[in-house]
Structure 1
Amino acid sequence: MESFREDFDIRSGEILAYLDLLRFIEHAGSELVSTEDPKNKFNITSESRKTLKGAVYILLYNLIESTMREAICFIHDSLHDKNVQFDNLKKNLRIEIVKRLKSDSVGVENFINGLTKGISCGISYGSFNKKKLFSGNIDRDEIKEKATIYGFSTSSDYIHTKHGEKLSTIKQHRNDLAHGNVSFSEIGKNVSYQDLENVSLEVIAYLDAIATNIEDYIHSDGYLTS
C-alpha cells in the first residue's frame, strides 16, 4: 500500500503545483519576463489562460483512474498474498470473478500464469486484468459499483468531498477533450481558478477517503463472506 499511497501523493502534488501556476498566471500581467534576459518576454493571452484551465480536467481524471485502478490492484494483491480461497470470498466478488473468466478481457495464458498458488487461491488474481478495469469511463457511480462488488465503503466527509459528485463532470470533460469534441480553451473559458481549486481539493479528499476505506477493508478482511 505504500507504493499506492506514494503514487497518489505524487499525482495529487502535480495537480496542486499546477494550480499554483494557474493562480500565479491568473494574477500576472499580460506578459512574463525572463529573469536571464529582460528583453525575452512571453505574452499571456486570454486564450492561453483558458487552455491552461482546461488542462486541469485531464490531470484530475488521470488521478481518479490511476488511484482507483491501483486500489483495486492492491485488493487482488492482498488476496493473493494472504492465500484467500475463492469459496471464502463475498458472493458479489465471486460472481464478478466468474464474469471475468467468461469475458475476453482475460487471456488463457495470463490466467494460467496467475495460478501459482492453485486455482482456489489464484483464481481472483489470474482472472484480473487491470488494463480492462475502467477504460476511460470512471466516475462516482463506477466507484460505487466496484464498492458493491468488493464490499468496501464509499463513505466520506461531505463537507470536504461532496461525496465525489464532480467526478462525472470531470469524466465528461476528459472524454470530450480526448476525442477532440471540444478544445481546451472551450472547456476552460467558463470556469474560474477558484472553481478549479475547489473541485480539485474535493476530488483529492474524496479519493483519499476511498483509499482509507480500502485500507480498512483489507485490514479487517472485508472481502470474506460472512
Structure 2
Amino acid sequence: MNAADLLSFFEERFEEVDAYVDLLEELEKAAQDGAPRLHGTMYKISATQQRILYSSLYLQLYNLVEATVSRCVDAITQAAGHAGQWKPHQLNGELQREWVRSIARTHTDMSPEHRLKYAMQLSDHIVQQLPVAQFSVEAGGGGNWDDEAIFAMGKRLGCMISITAQTRRVVKANMRDDLGPLKLVKDRRNGLAHGSISFVDCADGVAVEELRRMAASVESYLREVIDCFIRYIESHNFLRPDCRPNGGAP
C-alpha cells in the first residue's frame, strides 16, 4: 500500500465502524420502549445480547488501529524500495537500521549456519551496491497498540508523530477506568481476547453515546497519524537529508 492509498483505506474501514455505531444507536432507541423485536418475528433482543453487540465495537476499533499502523509502516518500506531508486546508504539512520534487521534477520532465532547465510547476503548487497528492494518491518502489535505505542513506532522509523493539541487532549482524557480512548480500546480488546472479561461485563453501564465519542476520538487521532506518515513519505524523509529530492522537509 502506497501513501496515496492510506487515507482511502482508512475511510473505507471507518465507514464500517460508523455504520455499526448507527446500528447500535437505533437498537438503543428501540430498547427504550422495551426489548426490541426482529421485524416479522416474535424474537426479542435481550439486554444481554445488546451488551454483547456493544462490546464488539472495541474489537472492531482495535482491528482498525492495528490495520492502520501496519499499512502506514508498509507504505514506508514500499516507498524506500520503489523502482529500485534508493541504495541502503541513502536511507535515514532509523530506516537503515530496520533494513539491516530485515535483510540479516538479526532478531530471528536460527542456527549459526543460517545466520552466516543471511550475513553473507547482506554483505553481497552492500558490496555490489544493490538498490533497496521491498522489505518488511516487524511492527509487532499483538494487542499492544495505543497512542504511546504508535508514537514509539513512528520514532523507531524516524517519523515524528505530531498531533494537534486538541486531539492530544481528547486522546489523553479519561473516558473510563482512568483510560483514554485508545488505551481503553486496547484494554477492552485484550480483556475480551484473553477471556479475562466477558462480552456482557465489558459493556456494563456503557451507552452508545460513549461508544460514539470513543470511535470519534480514535478516528481523529488516526487521521492525524496517517497525515504524519503521508508527509514523511512524500517529503522523502525516509532518506538522509542530503539524499532527499529538493532537500525534503525537516
TM-score of the two chains, using structure 2 as the length reference: 0.76
TM-superposed deviation, 1:160:
4.2
Cα drift, residue 92 of structure 1: 2.3
Could you tell me which of 176, 191, 194 is aligned with 2:206? 191
Partner of 1:7: 9
Task: Choose the corresponding residue for 1:146, options 131, 147, 153.
Answer: 153
Aligned ranges for residues 146-185 of structure 1 at < 5 Å? 146-160=153-167, 162=169, 164-165=171-172, 166-185=181-200
Query: 1:92 and 1:160, CA in 2 relative to 1: closer, same or farther beyond 3 A?
Result: closer
Query: Aligned letter for 2:11?
Result: D
Question: What SS does the aligned partner of 1:77 have?
Answer: helix
Aligned pairs for 1:42-81 within 5 A: 42-81=43-82
Q: Deviations over 1:104-161 (max 9, x none)?
A: 289999997xx8xx775326x33x156x532332111211111112222322234346
Is the contact made by 1:19 and 1:197 (CA closer than 8 Å) also made in structure 2?
A: yes
Following superposition, the deviation at residue 93 of structure 1 comes to 2.3
Q: Letter of the 1:199 partner, please give it.
A: M
Supply the AA of the counterpart residue of 1:81.
Answer: H
- For 1:72 and 1:134, locate their aligned partners in 2 and report how far apart those are by CA, in whole Å: 12
166-175 or 16-25, larger mean C-alpha shift: 166-175
Residue 44 of structure 1, CA deviation: 2.4
| C-alpha distance in 2 between matches for 1:214 and 1:167 | 19
* Equivalent position SS for 2:37: strand
Q: Which deviates further from its counterpart, 53-62 or 1-10?
A: 1-10
SS at match of 2:132: helix
In the other structure, the counterpart of 1:134 is 141
- Taking a change above 3 Å as real, the CA distance of residues 4 and 156 of structure 1, as seen in their structure-2 partners, is same
Matched, 1:104 2:108: yes
Cα shift readout 1:9-47 (whole Å, capped 9, x = no counterpart) = 12101110010011111110312241xx3xx13312221
Instruction: Tell me the C-alpha RMSD between the 2 structures.
Output: 2.8
Please report how far the alpha carbon of residue 185 of structure 1 lies from its aligned counterpart in structure 2 after TM superposition: 1.1
Question: How far did 1:70 drift?
Answer: 0.6
Verify the 8 A CA contact 1:33 1:41 in the aligned structure 2.
yes
Contact 2:66 2:145 in 1 (8 A): yes
> What is the identity, as a one-letter code, of the residue corresponding to 2:46?
T
The whole-number CA distance in structure 2 between the counterparts of 1:181 and 1:192 is 22
| Structure 1 residues 3 and 219, CA gap change in structure 2 (3 angstroms) | closer
Structure 2: which 5+ runs fail to align? 173-180, 242-250
User: Among residues 80, 84, 87, which one is paired with 1:85 in the alignment?
Assistant: 87
Kindly provide the CA deviation profile for residues 41-73 of structure 1, in whole angstroms up to 9, marking residues without a partner as x. 331222122111111100000100001101110
Displaced runs of 4+ in structure 1, greater than 6 A?
105-112
1:31 equivalent to 2:40? Answer no
1:204-215 superposed matches below 5 A: 204-215=219-230
Report percent identity of matched pairs: 23
> Which is greater in Rg?
2
The 10-residue stretch of structure 1 (100-109 or 19-28) with the greater mean CA deviation from structure 2: 100-109
